[in-house]
Amino acid sequence: MSKENLRFNSKLIHGGGYKNKLGAVNVPIYQSSTFEFITAEEGARCFNGESDGYIYTRLGNPTIHVLERTVAELENGFGGIATSSGMGAVSTIYMALLSKGDHIVSSDAVYGPSRGLMEDHFSRFGVESTYVNTSDIENIKKAIRPNTKVLYLETPANPTIDISDLKACSEIAKANNLLMVVDNTFSSPYLQRPIEFGADVVFHSITKFINGHADVVGGVIVAKEEALYKKLRSMMIAMGCNMDPHQAYLVIRGLKTLAIRVDRAQQNAIVLADFLEKHPKVEWIKYPGLKSHPQYELAKKQMDGPGAMISFGLKGGLEAGRKLMNSVKVAILAVSLGGVETLIEHPASMTHSKVSLADKKKAGISDGLVRLSVGIEDVDDLLRDLDQALAEV
Ligand SMILES: *Cc1c(COP(=O)(O)O)cnc(C)c1O
């Protein structure tokens, strides 16, 4: 057998097809801004694409390429493009796929800054946008205009944990000649691979589950096909939002344990969700692993597991949520997600504070919503922690 066609867990360890000439088992950090050409002719070949030799790290770097190839393999796409941050991936995608006069239809409960970048900045260059609850296909159909070019989804969405039907959305996208872009940050490729359901472009904030250790900010884009890959790559290079080799090295290290980290975090999340759902002080809870989630069946169809992100509301709204966040001892009060440590945050005053009150309400981001990113601690400690913190509420 060869190292082609490995299954998911093996790809995490052996992905990217990297073979070190000196026999180093681990991928070295090529911390070099520029690369020597053996001859002037070879330099010319690198520039006109006849050779895949390295030129300059903004254009490509051996350490970064291992990460890019591995994530592309995990997502079953043509190629990967690593970026300096998740927002670097979002801006590269917007810049590459939208022009003056174009329109984008997007999930309304998206990562706050993804919406802010479009509404505050791309609007200045004549790009129009409409935000709808993409869990309801009819909303998407109604929002499409003659100048719509992109359908942008985040599923599960941040922070409402609403789920959009990837297959049904991709059928609408195809029928209307739209490119479908999916922010897959909340699931990681371990739990969801949108290209398998028809997405054209998938991206991640690598900062979250893929790296998983709260020590790197980064992003990665995966394109389904070569032409799109080239378009996105050249935009990343033009804008200069490349990843750094040292950043890539840390992410390659984190990525190796993606499956076992997500398995454990998800196991913990299932227990915590069950506890929260039964707790008298919890008004509502959204977790794809609970039968009470409105898209429980859809989640089972397109995700390989419910993940480690839980949203819930307390009786007593914002004040109760504040008390809870100030009372936890094991969970850490911090934004971001997908790391080994359990994090708790309040989207309305933190990650989504810049979204207008009306838009928050429309997107289902209530004042009392608390977001929990479940880590890999002993679940008994997490349970005891939530129990004592809820007693303070
Ligand atoms: C964090 C996040 C981003 C932005 O990524 P950065 O690495 O912080 O730039 C985009 N989408 C989602 C869903 C995120 O959670």
Q: What are phi and psi of 118, to 5 degrees?
A: -70, -50
What residues are paired with 285 via a beta bridge? 312
Closest atom of ligand 1 relative to the 219 alpha carbon:
7
**pLDDT reported for residue 294:** 95
Residue 364: its pLDDT value, please?
Answer: 80
Tokens of 217: 């900010």
Query: DSSP letter string over 292-324?
Result: TSTTHHHHHHH-SS--SEEEEEETTHHHHHHHH
Give pLDDT, residue 26. 93
131 flagged as catalytic = no
Q: What contacts 24+ positions apart, CB below 8 Å, involve 14-21?
A: 15/66, 15/69, 15/70, 15/73, 15/74, 16/65, 16/66, 16/67, 16/68, 16/69, 16/70, 16/73, 16/252, 17/69, 18/66, 18/69
Q: Residue whose CA is closest, atom 7 of ligand 1?
A: 86
Residue 64 pLDDT: 98
User: What span, in angstroms and rounded, lies between the C-alpha atoms of 220 and 206?
Assistant: 6
- Tell me how far CA of residue 161 lies from CA of 111, 156, 372, in angstroms: 11, 5, 11
**CA neighbor of 135 nearest in space, from 98, 115, 113, 110:** 110
- Residue 296: active-site member: no
Nearest-CA residue for ligand 1 atom 8 is: 86
pLDDT of res. 32? 97
Residue nearest to atom 1 of ligand 1 (CA): 205
Distance CA 356, CA 9 (A): 42
pTM: 0.96
CA of 177 to the centre of ligand 1 (A): 27
Reference 110, options 67, 151, 71, 70; nearest CA is 151
Residue 149 is inside which H or E element, if any?
strand 148-154
Q: What is the mean pLDDT of each run of 10 residues along the chain (393 residues)?
A: 83 87 94 97 93 96 97 97 98 98 95 94 98 97 98 94 97 98 98 98 98 98 98 98 98 98 98 98 96 97 98 91 94 96 90 81 83 98 98 94
pLDDT tens sequence across 106-130: 999 899 899 999 999 999 999 999 9
Index of the ligand 1 atom closest to the CA of residue 206: 7
**Cα 215 from Cα 233, distance rounded (Å):** 25
> Where are the chain's structural domains?
7-255, 258-391
Mutation pick for ligand 1 pocket among 91, 184, 203, 207 (CB with most ligand atoms within 8 Å)? 207
What is the C-alpha end-to-end distance of the chain, expressed in Å?
58
- Considering only CA atoms, give the Rg of the chain: 21
Architecture of domain 258-391: Alpha-Beta Complex (3.90)
Select from 90, 158, 241, 250 the residue to mutate for testing ligand 1; criterion: most ligand atoms less than 8 Å from CB.
Answer: 158
Does domain 7-255 correspond to CATH entry 3.30.70.360? no
Residue 152 in 3-state DSSP?
Answer: strand
Residues lining ligand 1, Cβ inside 6 A: 85-87, 111, 114, 154, 158, 183, 185-186, 205, 207-208, 217, 219
Which residue, by CA, sits nearest to atom 6 of ligand 1? 86
The closest-lying atom of ligand 1 relative to the alpha carbon of residue 186 is 13
Rounded to whole angstroms, how far apart are CA atoms 284 and 198? 33
Is 58 one of the annotated active-site residues of the chain? Answer: yes
Q: Is 183 a catalytic residue?
A: yes
